[in-house]
Amino acid sequence: MNTFRWYLVGLLALFGAYVALEYYKPKPLDWTPTLRNQDKIPYGTYALYDVLPAVLGTDSVVSVRLPIFNQLLGADEPVPAASRPTNVAFKDDSADRANDAAAARLAASQQPLTTQRVTYVFVNQSFESSPLETDALLRFIGQGNNVFIAAESFDGRSPSLADSLGVQLVAADTTASLARLRTIVQPRGRARRLASRLPTRLRPDSVALHLLGAAGPRATFRFPAAVAGYRLALTSHYPQRGATLAADAQGRPVLLRLDVGRGHLYLCSVPLALGNYWLLRPQQGDFALAALSALPTGRPVWWDEYQKQGRAGEQSLLRVVLGSPALRAAYYLLLAGALLLVLVEARRRQRVIPVLKPLPNTTLLFTRTVAGLYRQGRRHGPIAEKKVALFLDYLRTRFHEPSPDLADEAFRERLSQKAGLPRARVDELVRLINFARTAPAVTDRELLALSRAISDFRREAGRR
């Protein structure tokens, strides 16, 4: 027993050590590119959001958790009204839908924008905007504001922001798209001279990005190809002026400034380079700071988190119900009533009484099985002995003969009187019984004669 206790203590100690090891071991790094301003993981933007006031020279940096339309116009985005019934099928209603969309865009364009001069910053993997949001954003920039968008793709309902500006994001190794690249504002000859100054022999897993107009060894930054895998390309002629602020070794832009009215739109195709991991590295950290330093200083900053985290506050499916006092009271009353119904119904119902089937009597089945085995082996002697034993037990219980002796004349006479049968019948039955007991073998006919004699005696004796 003492040995068992020591084994048990050892197992408990090992289990406790394993739990402590699992609890205190370092957690693995999460390399998910969330780009959220509250995430301190390698591809979060906590560090960038923290230094943003110092870079832009302002104390007003606000995290925005509203859609672009709501933030700029202070209202929800209107939904185009259907001009035809939805339960009737028409051949072509595309013109009506276009008219409805145009009417909604016209109504939205007439709503006044915010008059505050701010800088709107988006750092996402994918930038999404509806046509109404695109129009509002372009109006917002045209009034003298600045918007900075760092993304690897422009998603949204057509026409999106990229379609309106004639700019698209392409992969760095897409040769068909790279053939259409043109450097905005910069002359082609100057772009070629700039590309010739950049390193031409790059490692296969890295990309060198160069800040145009910056001199010195810190003007070139090297990033992995997976981080800087997209370039900006022009898809059509863009009438507004602009400039390329950063490009790769081939002169393909990764940071553009587009002039829209009195404001500027900054597009960056390497949002992952603005993450915590690269911002805190001495060799690459200045790229993100230099990219944001192109924005004007002294203005309030809106940092968009809606496209990464959604609206602020409760995001559950019951937020509408829980937001109204009347609906919240009705919801809690419904839950209390359902719980009360379950409890009361459970007390009213009795427990189901199981039906127990009676045990089957297998004695007869066992007897038939054993008899079949005897008959199959043509062993009639044991069957005859058992029949005789059962008959003697019948005489003891039926005629109260404790020790029937078939050889006793007085017993046979007494049995004849009690059974009400002739003495000759009793003597014949006794003869068959004695023969079955003493014969070396019993044939089928002899066993059948004994069985019939016993059955007839019991049947006729039972009538008396």
Res 52: pLDDT: 93
C-alpha 370: how far from its chain's center? 63
- pLDDT at position 285 is 87
Neighbours of 127 (CB within 10 A): 24
User: Rounded distance, CA 196 to CA 176, Å?
Assistant: 22
Helix axes 363-376, 380-398, angle to 10 degrees: 140
Q: What's residue 197's pLDDT?
A: 40
Asked if residues 49 and 276 have their Cβ atoms less than 8 Å apart, the reply is no
Strand runs (DSSP E) across 282-387, as ranges?
301-304
Closest CA to 115 of 148, 142, 143: 143
Contact (Cβ atoms closer than 8 angstroms) between residue 170 and residue 231: yes
CATH number of 46-84+94-312, picked from 2.40.50, 3.40.50, 1.10.10, 3.30.2220: 3.40.50
Identify the H or E element spanning 262: none
**Contact assessment for residue 37 and residue 275, using Cβ atoms and an 8 Å cutoff:** no
- Strand pairing category for 253-260 and 242-248: antiparallel
Q: What tokens does 173 get?
A: 């190794």
Residue 141 corresponds to which tokens in the numbers above? 């920039």
pTM: 0.59
- CA-closest candidate to residue 194, choices 212, 175, 179: 212
Cβ burial, residue 201 (10 Å; 0-12/13-18/19+)? exposed
| DSSP 8-state class, residue 311 | S
Distance of alpha carbon 393 from the chain centroid = 76
**In b/e form, how buried is each residue of 26-59, taking b as 16+ CB within 10 angstroms?**
eeeeeeebbbbbebebbbbbebbbeebeebbebe
Rounded-to-integer distance, Cα 413 and Cα 15, Å: 89
Q: Which residues pair with 302 in a beta bridge?
A: 62, 120
CA separation for the pair 421, 417 (Å, rounded):
7
- In the chain, domain spans: 46-84+94-312, 319-350, 374-463
pLDDT along the chain (464 residues), means of 10: 80 92 86 91 93 91 90 72 47 54 56 81 91 88 92 74 80 50 35 38 68 66 90 70 86 89 92 93 90 90 91 71 86 93 74 79 80 72 84 87 82 86 88 86 85 88 73
The three-state secondary structure class of 306 is helix
Is there a contact between 235 and 168 (Cβ–Cβ < 8 Å)? yes
Cα 428 to Cα 425: distance, rounded to the nearest angstrom: 5
Cβ count near 63 (within 10 Å): 16
Max Cα distance, the chain (Å): 147
Cβ-contact 113, 72 below 8 angstroms: yes
d(CA 147, CA 137): 8
- Evaluate whether 137 touches 263 at the Cβ level (below 8 Å): no
* 53's tokens: 């006031």
Is 313 strand, coil or helix? Answer: coil
